[in-house]
Amino acid sequence: MPDAADLEQRLVLLQAEIDWPATPALAARVRARIATPSAAPRPWFQNRWALAAAAVLVVLAALVAYTPSRDAIASWINIHTIFTRVNQLPTPSPLPSGPLGKRLGLGDPTTLDQAQSKLSWHVVVPASLGRPDEVYLQLPPLGPPQGEVTLVYKSRPGLKASGQTGVAVLVTEANGRVDTQFFGKMLGNGTTLEEVTVNGHKGYWIGGQPHVFFFIDADGKFRDETLRLATNTLLIDDNGTVVRIEGDLTKTQALEIAASLS
Amino acid sequence: MEGRPTDGELFARAQRGNQAAYEEIVQRYQQVAFRTAYVITGSAAEAEDAAQEGFVKAYRALSTFRPGAEPRPWLLRIVANEARNRVRSAGRRHQLELRVAERFRPGDAAPSPEAAAVAAEDHTWLLGLVNELSEEDRLVISSRYLLELSGEETAAALGIPEGTVKSRLSRALDRLRRRIEEGARA
């Protein structure tokens, strides 16, 4: 029999994989209802979304009982990221040569102010690291619908350059609807995944052996050219903005950086 | 971090009659409210109506919301009540069939389609076992894990005392573990 903690973890991870019916946009309708003391009954056609959702439900094949693999987990939890546990990591794509932005698929070099002027959401900066040495902006199709910003920090006392990226810390930020996912993480057996909370924001700490990172485009497809190895990473959901802090960091260092975001 | 109003500030504004603030509250909570209602009614259309009606009733009852209290359990209790009333008046509930999302489609440039397929199958299998549990067991497990409700919120959603949630959950998990073992042996 699986132990209780194991089952609980599997259920927690299962929740992210549920194919919920689309949440109807209730806010405007409720607003309309409370603005008028006695609202008319809702017209039938406002239920059309339900019909559409029913029409696109995927018909699953008959379930066959089998011994589930404990390593087979996949999840995204409010951080626009799918986690997949695999026994063997796929071979990363060869990194393109050239400047850092191109090599790691970070987008075009820019400045903090220029990047902020092109985005509808607020870019946060870790006060503990100060102004970034470089800033990159990635827009669709190779960036999420609302763009992605990466702050680059080169090595400094206490923070050495990572063998995977060549820089000390990458802070990547992207914003989107809660139910959209654009990042993927494949974790091997030597990588740990741990839930953390920073300033009340939920997140995950990925430690141990390097894991594989990839990007999922607007059509829900993997962009295999973005598949690369990543070292220790902290993911935090900051009010709908996922902040990814990556480097050869200890968990304490990463949490300190995250706690100083503003 | 961002300077957007907290739930408490929004509730205070809504209590003073600010309808835009209440609209923002609905925006923040419509997903968890709708899904909670869906787990209870088993029907997306019923859940939509229950959630909408629940939010309207909650607005009318805002004067009973105690400043400083947690808004989620308060709202979920009202929406879940509405959902249960609908099940009761209909005389039956729909058979809830939660499904695992198909995230990995054939033909996608997936880095490891095999691993993805194994992960999806594992989820499907476990979810199938949850779907087969008794309604009481399925509701408490779905609320706590699949909806990620806290103990207090689960109690509000199920209309039971918080102390009962723990014992009911523990028994439900035991039964699920036994089913997993039976399935693994089969």
Burial of B63 (0-12, 13-18, 19+ CB in 10 A): exposed
Q: How does pLDDT run across B81-100, given as a tens digit for each residue?
A: 999 998 888 776 666 667 77
**Domain boundaries in chain B?**
7-90, 133-185
CA distances to A222, A229, A230, A242, B170 from A142, rounded to whole Å, are 10, 18, 18, 16, 45
Is A185 in CB contact (< 8 Å) with chain B? Answer: no
> Is B133-185 the same fold as B7-90?
no
At A161, is the secondary structure helix, strand, or coil? coil
Give the whole-angstrom CA distance, residue A228 versus residue A211: 8
Considering only CB atoms, B38 lies closest to which of A21, A65, A82, namely A21
Give the whole-angstrom CA distance, residue A174 versus residue A123: 9
Q: How does pLDDT run across B108-142, given as a tens digit for each residue?
A: 444 455 666 666 677 888 888 998 899 899 999 99
Q: How does pLDDT run across B37-53, given as a tens digit for each residue?
A: 999 998 888 999 999 99
Is B2 in CB contact (< 8 Å) with chain A? Answer: yes
Prediction ipTM score: 0.85
Q: Hey, what CATH class is B133-185 in?
A: mainly alpha
Give the whole-angstrom CA distance, residue B110 versus residue A55: 26
Residues in chain A: 262
**Domain boundaries in chain A?**
4-55, 74-259
CB contact under 8 A, A14 and B127: yes
Extract the tokens encoding A193: 């995944």
The one-digit pLDDT tens for each residue of chain A (262 residues) are 567 788 888 888 888 888 889 888 888 878 877 775 433 333 323 333 322 222 221 111 111 122 222 222 333 345 677 676 666 677 776 777 788 888 888 999 999 999 999 999 999 999 999 999 999 999 887 788 888 999 999 998 888 998 888 899 999 998 876 556 677 777 888 888 888 889 888 888 999 988 888 777 665 555 656 777 888 999 888 877 889 999 999 999 999 999 999 9
Tell me A94's DSSP state: P
Considering only CB atoms, B112 lies closest to which of A1, A68, A90, namely A90
Indicate if the alpha-carbon torsion angle A22, A28, A34, A36 is positive or negative: negative
The region that residue B126 occupies, defined by phi over 0 for left and psi between -120 and 50 for alpha, beta otherwise, is: alpha
Is A5 in CB contact (< 8 Å) with chain B? Answer: no
- CATH architecture observed for domain B7-90: Orthogonal Bundle (1.10)
